[in-house]
Amino acid sequence: MSMDRNADVTAGELSTGAPDLAAADLFHDDRHLPVFEALRSTHPLYRQDAHPRFGSFWNVTRYNDILQIDLDDASFTAEDSFVLEDMDEQFPLPMFLAMDDPRHSELRDPVKPFFSQASMNRMRESIRQEVCTVLDALPCDETFDWVEQVSIALTSRILARMFDYPMEERDDLIRWSHMVLCTTPEGGTIAPEDPMRQQALLECLDVFSRLRKSRDAGGGDDLLSLLVQSGAGARLKPSEFLGNILMLIVAGNDTTRNSISAGASTFARHPEVFARLAEDPEVLRGSVLEILRLQSPIAYIRRRARVPYVLHGRVIQPGEKVLLWYASGNMDPTVFPDPERFDPARPNAFKMMAFGFGKHRCLGARLAELQLSLVWQEAAKRFSAIELAGPPVQVASSFIKGYASMPVRLTRAS
């Protein structure tokens, strides 16, 4: 399965004039904001018909509707795929994000302890060390690419630690993550059937299968060890093993990476907030939540109705696809007044929905928040200002909201 094949549908609008929410360029330059605003107000349950690639699907754009459906496993299934496109039957990659219980819990439960608060407390200082290594290597008063030198550099280091993967080979993890998502490092796309992609994913299977043998003996507390030492994890077929490993790589990579990039752009526009981050934990926490809300690194998640489901007087039929647009719910003014405003003191900032809800709520949420807090706390200690030195290049995707590059310039704190 490729997680994002929407990039070549670039109209942003159907011939009827109705918005095309599968269009990758909808998210360029925040063009999605007025589109979602209009849908929330007049078509909160919006059906897109006869899409050339994805057929018909429903779009849910209001905060409370998204919440209600995300929590309703009896009426909606996550099976098969979490993006518009169905699982690729030629190259299936089953993963627990796209499974229902009991199978979902059988695979989620063994890796859960890795993300507990106690585990985060243990990891905090080693993550801080990685953050400091990355930030200390940055130049001041010259332009460089924040995405490459900070967002990717840091997430690849954390990923390697998560799997106890050889640090010097951490670029492999980023390459495989791109291949899963069919994206290129430059922000473009590759075809899911591209032989280079399948070859890279099989290479990932080969490398992780070898690592797995060394972890089977037990004792490790990294993600791979926890997965393969559990009953369900030990019995995974190769395609399921690969699917779940890739899910953990992608989930830990693209999302956090894009939040770190979004933060740089936010603090370039809000130097007064940046100046307070090192000293004020409330402002730091509020900023992290607001960056997640405004960026929504995963724009939507897909479900499929199990039963006829009535919403706003319309019926979603069993089997029909439903997209829950976190990128819209996070901008719902009935929950977040003046939603486009970055407000670290927003009283209900914690309600942001970038991590989803319910049984599939992001397992890595604590780790992501920890990484983001440490990046911004340590950055504010070292630098007095961060400026954008040119326009960022966005990723061509309607699923991942992110950046391929972002030229910035830093000023050292005196």
- Contacting residues toward ligand HEM, per CB under 6 A: 70, 96-97, 108, 248, 251-252, 255-256, 259, 292, 297-298, 301, 354-358, 360-364, 367-368
Q: Which is nearer to ligand HEM, 225 or 256 (CB)?
A: 256
Q: Which is nearer to ligand HEM, 187 or 297 (CB)?
A: 297
Least separation in angstroms between CB 140 and ligand HEM: 27
When CB distances to ligand HEM are compared, the closest residue is: 364
Least separation in angstroms between CB 158 and ligand HEM: 8
Least separation in angstroms between CB 243 and ligand HEM: 12
The β-bridge partners of 314 are 311
Q: Which is nearer to ligand HEM, 274 or 326 (CB)?
A: 326
Give the count of alpha carbons within 13 A of 8, CB side only: 9
Q: Which is nearer to ligand HEM, 12 or 244 (CB)?
A: 244
Q: Which is nearer to ligand HEM, 212 or 257 (CB)?
A: 257
Least separation in angstroms between CB 94 and ligand HEM: 12
Least separation in angstroms between CB 203 and ligand HEM: 21
CB atoms within 10 A of CB 217: 9
Q: Which is nearer to ligand HEM, 96 or 267 (CB)?
A: 96
**Residue 106: which residues within 8 A CB-CB, separation 6 or more?**
231, 232
Q: Which is nearer to ligand HEM, 277 or 291 (CB)?
A: 291
The β-bridge partners of 315 are 310
Least separation in angstroms between CB 302 and ligand HEM: 9
The CA distances from residue 39 to 24, 165, 204, 353, 385, in Å, are 18, 44, 41, 18, 38
Cα 337 from Cα 10, distance rounded (Å): 31
Least separation in angstroms between CB 99 and ligand HEM: 8
Least separation in angstroms between CB 256 and ligand HEM: 4
Q: Which is nearer to ligand HEM, 150 or 409 (CB)?
A: 150
Q: Which is nearer to ligand HEM, 301 or 404 (CB)?
A: 301
Least separation in angstroms between CB 356 and ligand HEM: 2
